[in-house]
Amino acid sequence: MDGERRIGVAVDFSLCSRKALKWTIDNVIRKGDYLILITARPEGDYEDGEMQLWQTTGSPLIPLAEFSDPHTMKKYGIKPDAETLDIVTTAAAQKEITVLLKVYWGDAGEKICEAIDQVPISCLVIGNRGLGMLKRAILGSVSNYVVNNSSCPVTVVKKGDHEH
């Protein structure tokens, strides 16, 4: 991957992360890039899964063919939605890019920042749920944490007012 652009997108398989993913593909990705999807799972139930193996470093980079397979993803405790898989499969073919997934366990903001340095990522795109001031104060904002602690440029794709 030396000399190649590695574009990261934080995904949680929600509407917000799909919007960030689509925006990245439409506006940032170009032929030959690596599109690296980063997801963080809460720590917890992992006796059947891969977490004990990869807890400190995150999973290996998982190729698109493998993370399209529900049996492989079950080992990591992840269920990618059909729309996200369709978006990245289409982009991989049309834009001639390599799509990889990296799974972390723990605090999403911290793990996304870790991925930026470990992979390493050239730039990151993250969705924003638009929680509002009170909920953000109580729950914290992953995108806000990443923007303030990232070692690479971060683009936050906001959810529109009409989207739920």
CATH number, position 140: 3.40.50.620
Confidence of residue 164 (pLDDT cuts 50, 70, 90): very low
Task: Of 21-35, 55-69, 131-145, give the lowest mean pLDDT range.
Answer: 131-145
Is 115 among the domain residues? yes
Radius of gyration of the chain (CA): 15
Tens of pLDDT, residues 114-125: 999 999 999 999
3-state secondary structure of 71: helix
- Range 44-51 average pLDDT: 55
Is 104 among the domain residues? yes
Number of domains in the chain: 1
Beta carbons within 8 Å of 69's beta carbon, 6+ residues apart: none
Is 1 among the domain residues? no
Is 49 among the domain residues? yes
Is 163 among the domain residues? no
Q: Which domain holds residue 52?
A: 6-158
